Chain A
Amino acid sequence: MKKLNFLVIALFLGITFQMNAQTAEEVVASYFENTGGVDNWKKLTGVKMYAEVNQGMIIPIEITQLKGGKQMTVINFQGKEIKQGVFDGETLWSHNFMTQKAEKSDKENTDNAKLAINDFPDPFLNYKTSGYTVELMGSETIDGADTFKIKLVKKPLTVDGKLEDNITFYYFDKENFVPIAVHNEIKSGPMKGQMSEIKMSDYQEIEGLFFPFSMSQGLKGQAGQAISIKKIELNPKVDEKAFLFPEETPATPSGN
């Protein structure tokens, strides 16, 4: 009997939960509640992800993101580390594949990166204090799953000298309130105007927080490139120097 009662109550709760989740705020709140709680997310100071991309050739990558906006992606080719998208809060830089030397990103990209320094670990966590807005656009089916479509508007980006709205669409699974897809209009370069798509799955728990361990990245409507996450380290110890642009370019990049 007890078991049955529990089930009935749970079912009821489940239904109520779904019925009530009608505003963007509630969807976002449920997301954090279901993935570890807002307080625990706020305590997070950094994340280091060990991942693999299979493009015929298997490429190991490490992605580090820290509170305050520091981030980098390290790709390991034949024992050599190539850093991409490194940001120390001020300078955005990457290694050139030909020379393996560090080169700065253009000013506009760097300025746009600065707009997102408070987005760690998730732009929804402090969206109000960041001055972002959220809006529930309705329901949509993604991969056969019903989702809430949430529009997140962040601070405008500068693109080719002009301010442009910075809009991202998140699709939260109605069953468990985690995002399973993200759409973002590509704002610059030859792909400008096309919609990028990231899909997420394999949510797993790490020290009480849930992260997607599988992602695929590409253009909306097309098959994406899979990224498989092997391990996630929370609050990693990272030498802050690793984010700094190496002004005196060494003969070989770090890692040698």
Chain B
Amino acid sequence: MKKLLILIPCLLVLFTFESKGQEEKGIAAGEIFGDLRARHIGPALMSGRINDMEVHPTNPRIIYAGTAGGGVWKSNDAGTTFNPIFDDYCQSIGAVTVDPTNPDNVIYVGTGETWTRNSVSVGDGMYKSVDGGANWTKIGFEKSERISNIIVNPKNSNEIYVAVLGALWSDSEERGVYKTTDGGTTWNKILYVNPKTGCADFTMDPTNPSILYASMWEFRRTGWSFDSGGLNSALYKSTDAGKTWNKIHTGFPEGKLGRLAIAVAPSNPNILYTVIEAESDVKKGLYRSDDAGKSWNQLNNDFGITVRPFYFSKIVVDPKNPDIVVKGGLSGSISKDGGKTFKNLGNMHSDIHDIIFDIKDSDRMYVGTDGGVYRSWNQGTTMEIVENLPLSQFYHVSVDNATPYNVYGGLQDNGSWYGPSSSAGGIEARDWNPIGGGDGFRVLKHPTKNIIYSEMQGAENVWRYDVDNKLIKTIQPLPQKGYPKLRFNWNAPMAISKHQPDRFYMGSQFLHKSEDMGNTWQIISPDLTTNDKSKQQQEGSGGLSADNSGAENHTTIFTIAESTLDQNIIWVGTDDGNVQVTQNGGKTWVNTSLNIAGLPKNTWVYHIDASVHHKGTAYAVFEGHTTGDMKPYTYKTTDFGKTWKNIISTDVVGFVRNIQEDFVNPDLLFLGTEFGLYVTIDGGKQWSKFTNNMPSVAVHFIEIQEQTNDLVLATHGRGIIIIDDISPLRDVTSATMEKALHFFASKPTVMVDQNEFAGSFGTETQFVGQNPTKAFQLKYLLPKRHTFGKMTLEIKDMAGNLISEISPGKAKGINIVNWNYSIKQPKVAKGKTFSFGGFTSPRVPAGSYKAIITKGKDTFEHQFELVYDKSSKLNDEERKFKYTTIMKMYDMTQELAYLVYELDEIILNVPVANKKLLASLNSLKETLVITTGDNYVGSAEPQLREKMTDLFSKLSNSYDKPSNSELESLDIIVERFEKAKSDFEVLKKKSKLTSLKIKTFEEFIKE
């Protein structure tokens, strides 16, 4: 003990030194996030893109899903539900593999999605878990960008092959096939072609681990084009565990090849399938070899086989039957005749990327799509969606001012949606409403009318939806006389105005303005882009397979911000690097990006946030990942872009997509990066990653809801994530951090009367978004975690009466403690069963209260206000009457409890011989409390206790004042109780137990 006592003071001294050291460099927000915690609201009903599915080799209940932007999910119940197991790391997944010799524990994850669409994210290496996914260690391949396969030799856990597809937008030498023979300590590159060619697919002969097949793919994407194929694409085979490789092209088409898929039939390793992207359409399609690759025959070039190879080049063979083959595709196809003919898989979300078969029963399949994971019980004929994968890939989010507020946003291949930030019983799939088709992007609510704007890719349609009247109109800007063809980005920008509610902006290469909600448009700028014609050749995009979806449209406007301080100030950012500003409503424009030092030319302007504090101030984020530049770029101007200051610190990892300035504290900024959310409380000198229940997911857009101060994040892979009430961050300074305890200001809290019916039908296996609390929240800052000694929190009224005791938070930084503005439930008479009404804790009246924290010898006091909910429309007098009636019943309930206690004591002490008195006492008791039955359908007839507590509960749980009917019922109870009391007094006298020592009423209540 003494040792400890000595240690504590000296540690305190140590701490003082440390905190002084910290003062000089400011406060890293990461140390003080404390109880600020992310809340996930999904949705999961449309789920999101899946890249790779994996089975456990011996346990059919275990399945993994590697997702495009939402990490790795593991199912322990054969795909009924999934749990995330990779939240702290890069969420873009290429491959998930288990070690066949230790499949319960050893898992490898290769990051970086491999279906290389325009919106694809990037990986940051390969990870290993030795405990079934509880902990992960990075084991290299930091520059691989995307890993397509990992295969562990089933006979030797130390021998692992890694297929690296590599960088999509730039040359990279970290590509090809790698091998380790020492469990990952050292790696050798065993197959490499050139900096533009990576390994797209890789497999091993299941009966002979020395036989390997690798498909190499020459490919490149830019912001404005995609090129698949070249003379370097090829299919290779090694028979000596990767020492030597030979092309196996006998029977292949001549000329350039594109992306090739390769699969070995597990039940007959001589049978191979490959899907070939070739120059000639006739020669594209499925090829089969029956001699382990010596020769190939083309079997099929149907649409389902040849469609979009960069997106669907996946072929899977039934583990038991070499003639059952499944191909990824727009719908997915299955062949049961060895690949000669195919039919579509059953109805499900389109864009099928991977398929796995159950290890024991090939009728059971799992399919990964652009819209989540599907299960089939009948070999792919009917498909059912997994309902608890909230992988939605939002591009954008906006909020309205409703109570609760709604969130609006568009998703990759999943349209546009809006839904509530809170809903009875949690935010369920059925709470979400579709608000646009195709790929969804930006969605904006009209500032004053119940009208929503949404769009699909390339502004092909921009919708204006009149919600009340259910009227939909398309309002996209159309070609105008005297202007060239309009160029809209795939993710075309739109904006509304704080100054003119009906104003609506859209950006092509021009800025379009409408003052009548999109009915008529006016162009208010010249071409604001570089108008570089070499970046406008999308017809030729795709390489061997034409792919002109509009996804590569370039030299377009990408972001628009009208200043909330002055409607004549408008900022525009373009995908080719221009930051343009007008200070006169569009009459003249200045390109300010020329003044940004350290920023590579033509770097995509992803977002501009016009400051709400100062007219000349704006923040601009740039990202160059489509040129292979993964660095974070964020700048601030205070002089309309004449000068720009870099506000990125070395703390930020990953390129930046969004920034949001706090509307109260200009030094509080939020940054959305490809690997998560960062926060600064000092204007960008130091950034801290926010990790409290927040995955390392790409954050594409950030909003602050101004009534609630909630931070609302559009993540591209984990749906909408909310951090409720970030206001405490505004008040964290070195001064507040130095205090032993600092209370944050609290707004008056409404004691919510509103309620709804909530049913949990169907939610057993469904993702349900979390609700915010309705409780009063006490928020305070601690400079250090409280671990030793007593720390208590009491709520008292202003007269000092104790109202409630709550467990306080102990974390360093921000603590948030909820109190449901209720007192302790009444002490209820003891009966045979529970009186459920007696479990009710009545609310306190509105007014001022004190929170008192005692920490060691110190006490800290904070006053706060509770107010009534106006929606129930009770006046002060009615509130007072309601409260006194409830408390009258509360006291009566406790009085009855004491009476029954006294009665029980007398029964225990009356001589057994006095049968008559005992019988009278017992029959009195039988009228006071239930003395038989159980808590379910065996329950007995309710007695006085039950009637009393039920009415007490009814009144307490009602928003309304007591009704006449309720008061009449109360009279009956009071009469009955009065009679019971007088009957008891008579019996008590008869018992003559005057010297019986029992607890006083106060002792009884407090025990």
Contact = CB atoms under 8 A, between A and B. Distances in A.
Interface in A74-114: 77-80, 97-100
B790 A162 contact: no
A98 B934 contact: yes
Given A80-B830, A98-B936, A145-B812, 6 more contacts: A10-B10, A35-B4, A78-B829, A162-B59, A167-B134, A226-B806
Given A14-B14, A173-B787, A192-B76, A137 B828 contact: no
B467 interface: no
B32 A56 contact: no
Contacts of B980: none
Nearest to A186: B83
B820 A203 contact: no
A221 B37 contact: yes
A203 B787 CA distance: 6
Contact of A176 (B8, B135, B839): B8
Contacts of A201: 785-787, 791, 810
B719 to A, nearest CB: 16
Q: Closest 9 CB pairs between A and B?
A: A144-B812, A226-B807, A79-B830, A143-B811, A10-B10, A221-B693, A193-B83, A98-B936, A145-B785
A169 B790 contact: no
B34 A143 contact: yes
Interface in A1-51: 7, 10-11, 13-15, 17, 33-36
Contacts of B1: 36, 205, 208
B811 A99 contact: no
B35 interface: yes
B789 interface: yes
Contacts, number: 166
Interface string A153-183: 0000000001011010100010110101000
Given A144-B785, A195-B134, A221-B37, A164 B104 contact: yes
A193 B74 contact: yes
Contacts of A221: 37, 692-693
Q: Is the interface of B mostly helix, strand, loop or mixed?
A: loop
16 contacts: A10-B6, A11-B13, A58-B841, A98-B935, A141-B31, A169-B134, A176-B4, A176-B8, A185-B132, A201-B810, A202-B787, A202-B791, A223-B35, A223-B818, A227-B807, A252-B832
B790 A204 contact: yes
Interface string B7-45: 111110111000000000000000110110100000000
A11 B10 contact: yes
Contacts of A190: 81, 764
Interface string B785-827: 1111111000000000000011100111100101010101100
Contact of A180 (B75, B132, B785, B822): B785
Most buried by B among A145, A193, A252: A193
B134 A14 contact: no
A64 interface: no
Given A79-B830, A137-B135, A10 B9 contact: yes
Most buried by B among A58, A142, A169, A202: A202
Contacts of A129: none
A222 B810 CA distance: 15
Contacts of B105: 165
Interface string A187-203: 00010111100011111
Given A57-B839, A201-B810, A205-B1, A80 B834 contact: yes
Nearest to B838: A78
Nearest to A208: B1
A54 interface: yes
Given A36-B1, A98-B934, A144-B812, A56 B10 contact: no
Interface residues on A, range: 35 or more
Contacts of B10: 7, 10-11, 13-14
A73 interface: no
B807 A216 contact: yes
Interface string A123-159: 0000000000000010001111100000100000000
A47 to B, nearest CB: 18
Contacts of B812: 143-145
Interface of A: 7, 10-11, 13-15, 17, 33-36, 54, 56-58, 77-80, 97-100, 137, 141-145, 151, 162, 164-165, 167, 169, 173, 175-176, 178, 180, 185, 190, 192-195, 199-205, 208, 210, 213-214, 216, 221-223, 226-228, 252
B183 to A, nearest CB: 18
Contacts of B764: 190
Interface residues on B, range: 35 or more
Contacts of A151: 131
Given A36-B1, A193-B74, A201-B785, A176 B7 contact: yes
Given A98-B936, A143-B811, A203-B787, A14 B7 contact: yes
B834 to A, nearest CB: 6
A201 B147 CA distance: 43
Given A144-B785, A208-B1, A54 B806 contact: yes
Nearest to A138: B135
A151 B806 CA distance: 32
B938 interface: yes
B77 interface: yes
B243 interface: no
Contacts of A227: 807
Contacts of B104: 164-165
A140 to B, nearest CB: 10
A252 B938 CA distance: 14
A225 B8 CA distance: 29
A193 B34 contact: no
A191 B764 CA distance: 11
B555 interface: no
Nearest to B82: A193
Contacts of A192: 76-77
A227 B806 CA distance: 10
Contacts of A97: 935
B835 interface: yes
Contacts of B131: 151, 165, 167
Contacts of B841: 56-58
Nearest to A6: B6
B37 A223 contact: yes
Contacts of B806: 54, 226
Contacts of A145: 784-785, 787, 812
Most buried by B among A80, A143, A199: A143
Contacts of B807: 54, 214, 216, 226-228
A199 B815 CA distance: 14
Most buried by A among B810, B822, B839: B810
Most buried by B among A165, A175, A194: A175
Given A34-B4, A143-B810, A165-B105, A203 B788 contact: yes
A196 to B, nearest CB: 12
Contacts of B787: 145, 173, 175-176, 178, 180, 200-203
Contacts of B786: 201-202
A77 B392 CA distance: 44
B3 interface: yes
Given A80-B830, A100-B934, A222-B693, A144 B813 contact: yes
A100 B77 contact: no
Contacts of B824: 58
B860 to A, nearest CB: 16
A199 B811 CA distance: 10
Contacts of B832: 252
Contacts of B789: 202-204
Contacts of A178: 787-788
Contacts of A100: 833, 934-935
B353 to A, nearest CB: 24
A13 B5 CA distance: 13
Contacts of A164: 104
Contact of B791 (A15, A99, A205, A214): A214
Contacts of B835: 78
